[in-house]
Amino acid sequence: MGANNTPRGSKRPYDVIVIGELNVDIILRGDVAPRFGQAEKLVDDLELCAGSSAAIFAASASKMGLRVLYISVVGDDVLGHYMLAALRGAGVDASRVRVDATLKTGATVVLAKADDRAMLTYLGSISAVSARDLPADWASLARHFHVASPFLLSALRPDLPRLMAEAKSAGMTVSLDTNWDPDETWSLEGFFEFLDLFMPNDAELRAISGCDNLEEALATMATRVPLVVVKLGAEGALAVRGQERVHAPAYPVKVISTTGAGDTFDGAFLAAWLRGKSLQRCLELGNAAGALTTTQVGGFNGQPTWEEAERFIALHRPT
Ligand SMILES: Nc1ncnc2c1ncn2[C@@H]1O[C@H](COP(=O)(O)OP(=O)(O)OP(=O)(O)O)[C@@H](O)[C@H]1O
Ligand SMILES: [Mg+2]
């Protein structure tokens, strides 16, 4: 990585600390509608992928050159160790992930047909992730705190507003990607007071702001958070910071699976933002990383390094 891409001025051992879930996706493809009555059906394909939006974010941020510490809990089982290996493979520090033999690591079985999918999730160790898993000195370890998927983390969620406040008072910046709320109550009291960077997708932004119109939703949230970045899938992404408003289009790619594109975008955007890049540049790198990961199955796959993202952007620059 070039010297001008090195994160600026921090003596802290990590750039980013993330606390989140660790679970796997088991994807079955073909004629996947189950038939009860003890019938056995054969399917076309099976894939085991590292899942978890916070982990996909962490892997993306790490590949883009940030030093990332991941806090979580897994069972002492094959799936837990698979997730630990996936994090380490992406360069994420997983040494503080607690391995608890009394728990089972969670999994989502994805039944994928050509035009639709159904998911069956066993939460397992996800429900056990709590503020107690953070080391006592956590707020002095990194310069940035990222919060992902609070709606999935039932034991951690009540403590997140307090942790965000602690991070701020320790001099950290804070970002949030809520992802979807399965209950659709969108209860996020205390989540915006200490936030620097909010990264929802279009549907989430509209649900959280209570405004159906995207522009109104953006305007509403921009009065509450210094920087709002909304992900628009094949339309790219839009950033609003005070009076500044920047849109960057998506890159044309052959999409195989969009799972984890948003979390991969977040990691790349943050890597550029922490390096003090312009909003245009942050969006370009986020879009490039998001596009590249859609070309492969699994959120961890296809995620670029900084250099790979730069090369991809240069290829698509109008001549
Ligand atoms: N079909 C696509 N073509 C090109 N780029 C895409 C496509 N879908 C997603 N991306 C890129 O990935 C980014 C994030 O994707 P998306 O808008 O789907 O986020 P999300 O809904 O948060 O995703 P996730 O399902 O991971 O939570 C987009 O802003 C875009 O840059
Ligand atoms: Mg998302």
Q: Is the CB of 263 under 6 A from ligand 1?
A: yes
φ and ψ at 226, to 5 degrees? -60, -35
pLDDT of residue 114: 80
pLDDT of residue 313: 98
Question: Rounded to whole angstroms, how far apart are CA atoms 67 and 62?
Answer: 6
* Closest by Cα among 254, 258, 207, 199 to 231: 199
Burial class (CB in 10 A: 0-12, 13-18, 19+), 217: buried
Ligand 2 centroid distance, CA of 223 (Å): 22
Ligand 1 pocket check: which of 265, 266, 287 to mutate, most ligand atoms within 8 Å of Cβ? Answer: 265
Q: Is the CB of 260 under 6 A from ligand 1?
A: yes
pLDDT of residue 2: 42
**How many beta carbons lie within 10 A of that of residue 7, not counting itself?**
17
Q: For the whole model, what pTM was predicted?
A: 0.95
Q: Is the CB of 294 under 6 A from ligand 1?
A: yes
Ligand 2 centroid distance, CA of 200 (Å): 6
Looking at the domain assignment, is residue 32 inside a domain?
A: no
pLDDT of residue 7: 53
Task: Report helix, strand or coil for 258.
Answer: coil
Question: Rounded to whole angstroms, how far apart are CA atoms 74 and 197?
Answer: 28
Looking at the domain assignment, is residue 62 inside a domain?
A: yes
Looking at the domain assignment, is residue 116 inside a domain?
A: no
Looking at the domain assignment, is residue 26 inside a domain?
A: no
Question: Rounded to whole angstroms, how far apart are CA atoms 176 and 164?
Answer: 10
Amino acid at position 14, single letter? Y
In order along its 319 residues, the chain shows pLDDT tens digits of: 444 455 555 789 999 999 999 999 999 999 999 999 999 999 999 999 999 999 999 999 999 999 999 999 999 999 999 999 999 999 999 999 999 999 999 999 999 988 888 989 999 999 999 999 999 999 999 999 999 999 999 999 999 999 999 999 999 999 999 999 999 999 999 999 999 999 999 999 999 999 999 999 999 999 999 999 999 999 999 999 999 999 999 999 999 888 899 999 999 999 999 999 999 999 999 999 999 999 998 889 999 999 999 999 999 987 6
Nearest CA to ligand 1 atom 2: 234
Give the count of domains, the chain.
1
Amino acid at position 203, single letter? A
Looking at the domain assignment, is residue 201 inside a domain?
A: yes
Looking at the domain assignment, is residue 45 inside a domain?
A: no
Looking at the domain assignment, is residue 114 inside a domain?
A: no
Q: Residue 168 sits in which domain range?
A: 11-20+53-104+127-315
pLDDT of residue 4: 47
Looking at the domain assignment, is residue 196 inside a domain?
A: yes
**How many beta carbons lie within 10 A of that of residue 22, not counting itself?**
29
Give, in order, the Cα–Cα distances in Å from 259 to each of 63, 148, 262, 299, 314. Answer: 18, 15, 8, 6, 25
Cβ atoms of 246 and 280 within 8 Å: the answer is yes
What is the CATH classification number for the domain harbouring 302? 3.40.1190.20
